[in-house]
Amino acid sequence: MNNCDDDGDGNWDVVCNEENEDEESWDEYIWRKEIECATRKPAEYPEVTISSFTETGREESSIVVPKQRAYTGRKPVIPSSLADTPCATFGVQRLLDQLNATFGTSYGLDDPFLASLLEHYISNDYDFGLAYSYLRRIWYTDDWSVVKKALWRWRNEDQKKRRKALVGSRIVNPELPPRCVWDLYSNRVVPYWMMDARLWLQPISHAWVDKKDRTAVWTPINGYEWPVPIPKDADLDLIRIEMLNLREEYAWLDVLCLRQEGGRREDLRAEEWRLDVPTIGEVYRSSTVVCYLSGLGRPLTLNEGDLESDRSWFRRAWTLQEVGFGREIAGDTPDGPLHAECKDGEYATELLTRFHKKLQDTYYSTLLYDVLAEMRTRVSTNPVDKIAGLASLVLSNWIPAYSESVSVEHAWSALVDSMYARHRAQLFILYAEPGDAGPKWRPSWRQAMTKPLLPHWIDGYVERDETGGVDSCYMPQCVEGFVRGLAVVEEGDRHGEFIVECNDGIKRFKIAAAHTYPIPEDIYTLIHFLPYESPHGCIIGRSLPEGRFEKVSVVETWDKDLLDITEIHQYILI
């Protein structure tokens, strides 16, 4: 059974298409029924306990992470043994009895719509966990006749949204929710549309351990769709227990919810990844993220070399977008590094001090300077993944679709094209050198990751005309003059002057270059935008025919008189 592709409602497409009810009225009716369902839920469910022993056969005393030993609570959580039981084992009446016991209800088979739904789950080889998960959103209804259409509409609206989100090589809906989620109560991966939209989806972030320390697990949790790569000493059922102890109901975990290599439908992976990989960041944005810093499901440990390792959570490219606005560290143990004593900002060892400083200094940012500076310190298995990992952080109206095989410069160009005009203006001034691959107004990907970033902030715009593929500098302040004194590279900041011929004579203005890129003495056009602060960062370059501008470098000035003699122009950037 394909958990994420199945419709969950039976073969009712034709029936639903033939109905002629007003669509808006149906949406309102179904929405009202869903709200009513929520109000009919029991105030309290029977107490449930699942443990490492019942789920994995391992004694609780052998489990290092306390929160992975057992879960006890009054939520409708089912054990894996029940989730794995085929619905056909029960038959219709016993299946209904088990659902009633789980949901705390007393439905009977006198309703033909309910009976038909249960028969569908039996005849289509559902296990109890999957059937239970599909029913959770609508179980407390008083009108089973609308359930089939509700399920059909939710599924088709989700599919329609995904089809519309991808236009050619562009994702025009960057805020698209994930394709699948992990229902922790049923222990099944199901389509996002089966989750009550009013509930919070908990993202999980983790360090990927080395390949030799991983194993591929075939599991009923994702319907055996693909082997799930996890650390050899981790267990998905123990991770589930920990998440339940963190009071979570639905979670998103990449290895479970994003199609992995080696599955039954490998032909679907590349197509799904085009859409699913770039939108991963949306799952983490504005969320408190559960983080396994030492590897998925593993206890948190800290050893010499961990923070410098290419496998460190703090150094992986993908985890930059997974920082969130808050973190809950999973895998915690009583004697772990989170419980080390701090005195006057210092810990017992230099390693502990660095670890806690990294935790404090890791924060979510959408400032281009911050994300580029941080990504330079990170590593990825596929070089193009660093660019894909920036997509949700640069904030734009659309983002590029993902491709494993595209070149980094092609991927970088697509990402720059998608950026808001203000972010593109930052690229115009953050780097001292002209671009060395493609446009000169902004850095190549190699330059973006290796050349020094200049701490200049401007309030400007570099617009893009999609029709002609033209980048233009919107309403900059410009003046032409002669640059002197910056041709020789020296240690420290270089100081020179910008000489302008004005109506009332020659004027000289102090400028400086806080970088090591030489600027030959010549006549240049100086561009500046409204600055946030002094010194004022300015771009210098050559004005070319047909209103074009070729960037040469970046300078700065404290001389406000220079900014007062500029004129407004609009340039096409090359």
Of residues 182 and 23, which shows the higher confidence score? Answer: 182
The β-bridge partners of 188 are 183
- Average pLDDT over every residue of 522-530: 89
3-state secondary structure of 215: strand
Tokens for 77?
């959580």
22: confidence class by pLDDT, cuts 50, 70, 90: low
- By C-alpha distance, which of 467, 471, 465 is closest to 550? 471
pLDDT tens for residues 182-219? 999 999 999 999 998 888 999 999 999 999 999 999 99
Pairing label, strands 477-484, 567-568: antiparallel
pLDDT tens for residues 379-399? 999 999 999 999 999 888 899
pLDDT tens for residues 41-58? 887 899 999 999 999 999
In the chain, where are the structural domains located? 13-162, 171-428, 470-573
Q: What is the pLDDT of residue 10?
A: 44
Q: What is the pLDDT of residue 23?
A: 54
Q: Can you give the pTM of this predicted structure? A: 0.92
d(CA 195, CA 186): 12
Q: What is the pLDDT of residue 27?
A: 67
Of residues 457 and 466, which shows the higher confidence score? Answer: 466
How much of the chain exceeds pLDDT 70, in percent? 94
- By C-alpha distance, which of 36, 131, 40 is closest to 89? 131
- By C-alpha distance, which of 278, 2, 23 is closest to 165? 278
Q: What is the pLDDT of residue 17?
A: 40
Look up residue 396 and give its DSSP letter. Answer: B
d(CA 397, CA 178): 18
Q: What is the pLDDT of residue 509?
A: 94
pLDDT tens for residues 263-273? 989 999 999 99
**Cis peptide, bond prior to residue 535, ω within 30 of zero:** yes
Measured at the alpha carbon of residue 257, what is the angle toward residues 366 and 255, in degrees to the nearest 5? 85
Q: What is the pLDDT of residue 25?
A: 67
Mean per-residue pLDDT of the chain: 91
- By C-alpha distance, which of 360, 365, 486, 354 is closest to 432? 486
Q: What is the pLDDT of residue 176?
A: 94
Q: What is the pLDDT of residue 160?
A: 96
Q: What is the pLDDT of residue 198?
A: 82
Pairing label, strands 166-167, 250-252: unpaired
How many other C-beta atoms lie within 10 A of the C-beta of residue 446? 14
pLDDT tens for residues 274-328? 999 999 999 998 789 999 999 999 999 999 999 999 999 999 999 999 998 889 9
Q: What is the pLDDT of residue 407?
A: 96
d(CA 555, CA 455): 12
Pairing label, strands 522-528, 477-484: antiparallel
The arrangement of strands across the sheet holding 250-252 comes to 188-191, 180-183, 250-252, 201-206, 288-292, 326-329
Length of the chain: 574
d(CA 63, CA 49): 16
d(CA 211, CA 266): 20
